[in-house]
Amino acid sequence: MSKCILVVNSFKTESTDMASQISSFLEERGWTVGIFSYDGQEALKNGVEAVFEGMDLAVSLGGDGTVLFVSRGCAPLGIPVFAVNLGEFGFLASIQKNGWRKPLEEYLDGKLPCLSRFMVTCSVMREGREVFSCCGLNDMTVSSEAASRLINLDVSYSGSNLGPFKANGIIVATATGSTAYSAAAGGPIMSPGLKALVLTPISSFSLSARPLVFSADGTLSVRVLPSRAKIGLMADGQINFELKENDTVILGIPNYRVKLLGGSLDKFYSALQSKLNWSGGPRA
């Protein structure tokens, strides 16, 4: 018997009713359905985990933040994500809330398109041992906990030193995450299927510091140098880990990808045109 988990964003008022509808829809077709209530604020403060093992499908009911949470749990297990957009942007959650039934029927019939998106992984090494690891769909950020404080980071790519970075921090984003925090910090927007990472400085002390795009053939290494500010690592803006002086963060692209159902390049670029207000005319 096929199993599905519905991850319901508790902040979205319509998500509970929609979860009931989708649950009934799947159960009528012989599926076993479980529901997990996701509170983004609670997750940021205390961390929450859903059990995705053994599932054949995950349905995300919320915005792109909910998709990020679900993707981190599903990607390593190869579980596809059916993401219904109840948020604002919809770069990741491309299935509209009033039109979920037809694409879900297409998925059950094996006809729904699926986009694979590359992830980013991090491993924090401290005194020769790993003290933290996780994956992300959008990005990994190493930054000062105080927004106005500069920190010092030594960055290298596959052993080639890129020099010290003096900035509020750096963002290492996937192609998917290039439309998020990295773009807000001045980074380039990459096609979502590109297997690459972009390093974007945050408020760099040097005016010559520019975003850098790296292939997946190597790994990025970020060593924490002495600074006066507290420094943290954040995955997808949702998972926090406090870094210490001389910690080294190793970042790369894993072998697994997240499978996002119902997405397409046309939907991605249409979202860019709409959300970024690309009009192409004199008011652009």
Q: What letter does residue 189 receive in the DSSP assignment?
A: P
| Distant-in-sequence, close-in-space partners of 144: CB < 8 Å, separation ≥ 6 | 150, 151, 168, 169, 227, 229, 230, 231, 232
Confidence at residue 44, expressed as pLDDT on a 0 to 100 scale: 75
CA distances from 22 to 86, 229, 270 (A): 14, 47, 27
Percent pLDDT > 70 in the chain is 98
Confidence at residue 279, expressed as pLDDT on a 0 to 100 scale: 65
Name the pLDDT band for 281 (thresholds 50, 70, 90).
low
Helix axes 15-27, 101-108, angle to 10 degrees: 30
Is the Cβ–Cβ distance between 236 and 138 less than 8 Å? yes
- Give me the mean pLDDT over the 247-272 stretch: 89
Q: Which two tokens stand for residue 150?
A: 């500069």
Range in 4-18, 54-68, 247-261 with the lowest mean pLDDT: 4-18
H or E element, residue 16: helix 15-27
Question: Mind listing the pLDDT tens digit for each residue in 183-225?
Answer: 999 999 999 889 999 999 999 888 778 999 999 989 999 999 9
End-to-end CA distance of the chain: 52
Is the Cβ–Cβ distance between 249 and 134 less than 8 Å? no
Give the span between the Cα atoms of 184 and 202, in whole angstroms: 10
Confidence at residue 283, expressed as pLDDT on a 0 to 100 scale: 52
Confidence at residue 94, expressed as pLDDT on a 0 to 100 scale: 84
| Distant-in-sequence, close-in-space partners of 5: CB < 8 Å, separation ≥ 6 | 33, 34, 35, 36, 50, 51, 52, 55, 57, 58, 59
Name the pLDDT band for 171 (thresholds 50, 70, 90).
very high
Out of 17, 39, 56, 64, which one is annotated catalytic? Answer: 64
Question: Mind listing the pLDDT tens digit for each residue in 30-74?
Answer: 999 999 999 877 777 777 888 999 999 999 999 999 999 999 999
Confidence at residue 90, expressed as pLDDT on a 0 to 100 scale: 72
Range in 7-16, 105-114, 237-246 with the lowest mean pLDDT: 7-16
Confidence at residue 49, expressed as pLDDT on a 0 to 100 scale: 82
Residue 271 has pLDDT above 80, yes or no: no
Give the span between the Cα atoms of 44 and 240, in whole angstroms: 8
Give the span between the Cα atoms of 94 and 103, in whole angstroms: 11
Torsion of CA 183, 115, 92, 31, to 10 degrees: -160
- Give me the mean pLDDT over the 4-9 stretch: 96
Q: Which residue has the tokens 């990607």?
A: 75
- Annotated active-site residue 247? The verdict is no
Percent pLDDT > 90 in the chain is 72
Work out the burial of residue 70: count CB atoms within 10 Å of its CB; fewer than 13 is exposed, 13-18 middle, 19 or more buried: buried
Confidence at residue 274, expressed as pLDDT on a 0 to 100 scale: 77
Name the pLDDT band for 280 (thresholds 50, 70, 90).
low
Range in 7-16, 29-38, 136-145, 221-230 with the lowest mean pLDDT: 7-16
- Residues 184, 47, 74, 28, CA torsion sign: negative
